[in-house]
Amino acid sequence: MSLNKKVLGIIFANMHEEVVPELTRERTMGSVLFGGRYRLIDFTLSNMANSGVDEVGIVTKSNYQSLLDHIGSGREWDMARKNGGLHLLPPFSNVTSGIYRGRLEALYGVSDFIKSSDAEYVIMSDCDVAATIDYNAVFEAHVKSGADITAVYASSNLTLESAAHSNVFGIDESGRVNNVMINPQISGECNVSLNIYVISKTLLMSMILDGAANGIYSFAKSILQARCGDYKIMGYKHEGYFSKITSVKTYYDANMALLCTENRKSLFNDEFPIYTKVLDNPPAKFDIGAKVKNSLIADGCIIEGTVENSILFRGARVGKGAVVRDSIIMQDTVIGKKCEISCVITDKAVNISDQKILGGSKNYPIYIGKKAQI
Amino acid sequence: MYTRKECVAMLLAGGQGSRLYALTQDMAKPAVPYGGKYKIIDFPLSNCVNSGIDTVGVLTQYQPLVLNDYIGNGQPWDLDKQYGGAHCLPPYQTALGAEWYKGTANAIYQNIAFVDRYNPEYVIILSGDHIYKMDYNQMLEFHKAKNADATIAVQNVPIEEASRMGIMIADDECNITDFEEKPAHPRSTLASMGIYIFTWKKLRQYLIDNENNPDEDKDFGKAIIPNMLNAGEKLVAYTFSGYWKDVGTLDALWDANMDILNPTIPIDLYDPDWKMYSRNPVLPPQYIGPEATVENSMVSEGCIIDGKLDNSVIFEGVTVEKGAVVTDSVIMTGSVVKAGAVVEYAIVGENSVIESGAHIGARPESCENRDDWGIAVIGHKVTVSEGQVVGAKQMIPDVKKK
């Protein structure tokens, strides 16, 4: 970190997975596939790596096989380190940890890990947001403002549905959070929390121990909301592209938003590369007769048909004469010859045999589960 | 202690590749990009790993910076090992002084200590000059079954090409009886692929003897192989019939790239059982714009394609703007083809810029005399200015003239 203060990163891999039960049936929120070649955890983990946070704990709860596969030793994020580096923190890993009910309880479960770090500050993040954020800037703002907690938010036009899965901040002229609404029944332009917080380790530890002693487990409700006036909670506004996943529909929209050049420039920026697991795929191949328009294509794809307004993950295949529109085709999915696919999300390794016609609509894309054979 | 290694690979990667001119001004031939995301050296390295050879000495000499950086600790090829793995071996100074690698044999001679560390039974000598997928383990099994002292991989070539190559004359049992370098009247069509397996103890002695004889070339083809033949050692030819291409000239490099786009040519990079490994860039997926057309092409991560691509190999992070046309060409990492530019039958090196309206290369049928035709080449970090025309066979910078 630029101010020569050590910062410990804590990532919650499972938080919010109930909002996309289809996508998280066999994986954590952090390992949900996103943007053609990524998993959601890649964004916050890369932000940490790019901001010099080189000691990171990933708190997980269940269903974490795919997360372990993806993260490995943390080498791709330059976090396979002798000092610091990446630590996976599954439940039941020590005497205080079990299945947690909220963020404070989860932190209590890993309190030994936090205590053992010599960092002065902690940055916490969930995995439901894809955004490129300079955590250094957040941290600098935190130190400068003398805040107890700095919370990252973004301005967003919320629907009733997405607000029901979000926390919304009221923010005064000085940038201080003066009101915290949890899953509110509102819609319109709001300061939506991105669930990224900077806090000093000492203060966090006292909150954790206090919470454990008093049976308090929710950070949002019992700290941010209940003690909004006691603590100095400062907002840090993220400008530029972000997507917060609150449903399969918002997941679909967030991916599709990457077809817009401005959003891509904001998320994929040369100075803040997004790291992910390397699969050693060859380049994508476009056959004779392929027609591809306005699409994101990852390496290893072989395209013989038509692809429009779609996202193809690594190793996807589109057969001759097939037409894929407005769809998200995840890793290793095979779409047979002369298929017609529109507004469909196929999970990993789906196999759609020749001449099938599948269609959803943009406000209700069809989801096809992992390894389905159609 | 550690067990000994059965077979250690020594990869000769110091070659300049002088006939690649503009492309090898600041990198050695094995570091030349190929196939959308690879470098030539990825092929022998991946072959080693896929064949179960986990100890590779990479001998570098000419412009080693790019190569050393690329190989690093060998991790992309799974060659970062506690014992073994990939090691870059440049020439070094000893108590007796310092000297360059004077030839292929001398390069190995200077690294006898490296090989001895692993105490191998066999050594396989490879070069970083060819594109091919080959199971070295099968060749090693052949070497063992034949109880040979040296096994030389050969390929059956058309007789008209034989006079440009090192030709092995072998009997029905694959025993090599004679060897001719670029014979005017070839007696066989078995061309050496520059891949040798030696029983290390034997080779070690021949390398020492060769070094001690000041009159001899310090080269496998010119000295070690003939010496072994003359001494009556058992040399056998191992015939390999898969795809194998020397990419030593600009035309051959272009051809080899076009081969990947040709489904009838057996260089399948998508084979899950024989993965080609390389150092991967950290880039987002490629974006194909609303007005782009992309056919019969390979395109890599981070590209932004808004123009027209046909029959081309496009490396990572290349931008092809709206209205630009790229056909039958190879565009290497990070280059930009601006609106209205045309690139055909050309190789564009890394991080070059083709400004709008420029025209690179020409179709073969546009040249009256077929001999005037050849691919156009733009080197690395070159800007071709607006409207500039670079014709068939031309090169920027024109290092041929220097």
Contact at 8 Å (CB) between A69 and A15?
no
Considering only the beta carbons, identify the residue of A36, A293, A312 that sits closest to B292.
A293
- B134 Cβ under 8 Å from any chain A Cβ: no
- A293 Cβ under 8 Å from any chain B Cβ: yes
- B300 Cβ under 8 Å from any chain A Cβ: yes
Considering only the beta carbons, identify the residue of A259, A283, A312 that sits closest to B36.
A283
- B229 Cβ under 8 Å from any chain A Cβ: no
Residue labelled with tokens 């050496």: B192
- B265 Cβ under 8 Å from any chain A Cβ: no
Q: Which candidate in B301, B310, B311 is best for mutational testing of the A interface (most A CBs within 10 A)?
A: B301
* Nearest partner of B286 among B312, B317, B261, B308, judged by Cα: B317
User: Are A294 and B294 inside 8 Å of each other by CB?
Assistant: no
| Structure-token pair, residue A189 | 């332009």
- A270 Cβ under 8 Å from any chain B Cβ: no
DSSP assignment letter at B175: B
Residues of chain A positioned with their CB less than 8 A from the CB of B301: 37, 283, 298-299
- A275 Cβ under 8 Å from any chain B Cβ: yes
Residues of chain A positioned with their CB less than 8 A from the CB of B75: 75
Contact at 8 Å (CB) between B346 and B375?
yes
Query: Nearest residue on chain B to A293, judged by CA atoms?
Result: B290
- Measure the CA angle with vertex B392, ends B391 and B395; round to 5°: 75
Q: Which candidate in B259, B286, B305, B322 is best for mutational testing of the A interface (most A CBs within 10 A)?
A: B286
User: Are B300 and A268 inside 8 Å of each other by CB?
Assistant: no
The end-to-end CA distance of chain B, in Å, is 55
Considering only the beta carbons, identify the residue of B285, B297, B301 that sits closest to A286.
B297
SS3 assignment, position B52: coil
Q: How close A74 gets to chain B, by Cα (Å)?
A: 14
Q: Where do the domains of chain A lie, and which CATH numbers do they carry?
A: 7-267 (3.90.550.10), 285-368 (2.160.10.10)
Separation CA A283–CA A71 (nearest Å):
23
User: Are B299 and A36 inside 8 Å of each other by CB?
Assistant: no
User: Are B275 and A75 inside 8 Å of each other by CB?
Assistant: no
Buried-state track A334-345, b at ≥16 Cβ within 10 A, e below 16: bbbeebbbbbbb
**Burial group, residue A88, by CB count within 10 angstroms (0-12, 13-18, 19+):** middle
> Residue A134 has what pLDDT?
94
> Residue B195 has what pLDDT?
96
Q: How close A256 gets to chain B, by Cα (Å)?
A: 12
Whole-Å CA distances, A342 to A32, A353, B240, B328:
21, 15, 47, 33
Separation CA B324–CA B303 (nearest Å):
14
Buried-state track B118-149, b at ≥16 Cβ within 10 A, e below 16: bebebbbbbbbbbbbbbebbebbebbeebebb
Q: How close B368 gets to chain A, by Cα (Å)?
A: 29
Q: Which candidate in B50, B273, B287 is best for mutational testing of the A interface (most A CBs within 10 A)?
A: B287
Separation CA A139–CA A137 (nearest Å):
5
**Burial group, residue B159, by CB count within 10 angstroms (0-12, 13-18, 19+):** exposed
- A330 Cβ under 8 Å from any chain B Cβ: no
- B387 Cβ under 8 Å from any chain A Cβ: no
User: Are A300 and B270 inside 8 Å of each other by CB?
Assistant: yes
Residues of chain B positioned with their CB less than 8 A from the CB of A280: 76, 275-278, 280
Residues of chain B positioned with their CB less than 8 A from the CB of A284: 286, 298-300
- Measure the CA angle with vertex A26, ends A299 and A311; round to 5°: 30
Residues of chain A positioned with their CB less than 8 A from the CB of B298: 282-286
Separation CA B94–CA B116 (nearest Å):
17
Q: How close A128 gets to chain B, by Cα (Å)?
A: 19
Residues of chain B positioned with their CB less than 8 A from the CB of A286: 294-299, 309
- A289 Cβ under 8 Å from any chain B Cβ: yes
Considering only the beta carbons, identify the residue of B280, B285, B294 that sits closest to A296.
B285
- A320 Cβ under 8 Å from any chain B Cβ: no
DSSP assignment letter at A274: P
Residues of chain A positioned with their CB less than 8 A from the CB of B273: none
User: Are B294 and A278 inside 8 Å of each other by CB?
Assistant: no
Spatial CB neighbours of B122, under 8 Å, sequence gap ≥ 6 = B6, B7, B8, B140, B143, B197, B198, B199, B200
| Beta partners for residue A3, in sequence order | none
Separation CA B224–CA B217 (nearest Å):
9
Taken in order B298, A368, A19, A21, is the CA torsion positive or negative?
negative
Q: How close B25 gets to chain A, by Cα (Å)?
A: 26
Query: Nearest residue on chain A to B272, judged by CA atoms?
Result: A281
Helices A135-145 and A40-50, packing angle to 10 deg: 60
Contact at 8 Å (CB) between A334 and A356?
no
Considering only the beta carbons, identify the residue of A36, A259, A278 that sits closest to B280.
A278
User: Are B301 and A299 inside 8 Å of each other by CB?
Assistant: yes
Q: Which helix (H) or strand (E) holds A141?
A: helix A135-145
- B39 Cβ under 8 Å from any chain A Cβ: no
Separation CA B331–CA B352 (nearest Å):
9
- A95 Cβ under 8 Å from any chain B Cβ: no
Residues of chain A positioned with their CB less than 8 A from the CB of B275: 280
Separation CA B338–CA B357 (nearest Å):
8
pLDDT per residue as tens, chain A (374 positions): 445 568 999 999 988 888 898 899 889 999 999 999 999 999 999 999 999 998 999 998 888 889 999 999 999 999 998 888 999 988 776 656 567 788 898 899 899 999 999 999 999 999 999 999 999 999 999 999 999 999 999 999 999 998 999 999 999 999 999 999 999 999 999 999 999 999 999 999 999 999 989 988 899 999 999 999 999 999 999 999 999 999 999 999 999 999 999 999 999 988 899 999 999 999 999 999 999 999 999 999 999 999 999 999 999 999 999 999 999 999 999 999 999 999 999 999 999 999 999 999 999 999 999 999 99
Query: Nearest residue on chain B to A280, judged by CA atoms?
Result: B277
User: Are A297 and B37 inside 8 Å of each other by CB?
Assistant: no
DSSP assignment letter at B275: P
Q: How many CA atoms lie within 13 A of B228 on its CB side?
A: 30
Q: How close B49 gets to chain A, by Cα (Å)?
A: 14
- B320 Cβ under 8 Å from any chain A Cβ: no
pTM of the model: 0.92
User: Are B314 and A295 inside 8 Å of each other by CB?
Assistant: no
User: Are A37 and B301 inside 8 Å of each other by CB?
Assistant: yes
pLDDT per residue as tens, chain B (402 positions): 467 899 999 999 988 888 898 899 888 999 999 999 999 999 999 999 999 999 999 999 888 888 999 999 999 999 998 899 999 998 888 888 888 888 999 999 999 999 999 999 999 999 999 999 999 999 999 999 999 999 999 999 998 888 888 899 999 999 999 988 888 999 999 999 999 999 999 999 999 999 999 999 999 988 999 999 999 999 999 999 999 998 989 999 999 999 999 989 888 999 989 999 999 999 999 999 999 999 999 999 999 999 999 999 999 999 999 999 999 999 999 999 999 999 999 999 999 999 999 999 999 988 888 888 999 999 999 999 999 999 999 999 887 765
> Residue A1 has what pLDDT?
44
Q: How close B281 gets to chain A, by Cα (Å)?
A: 9
Residue pLDDT, tens place only, A137-179: 999 999 999 999 999 999 999 999 989 999 999 999 999 999 9
| Structure-token pair, residue A123 | 């940055």
> Residue A329 has what pLDDT?
97
> Residue A95 has what pLDDT?
57
- A329 Cβ under 8 Å from any chain B Cβ: no
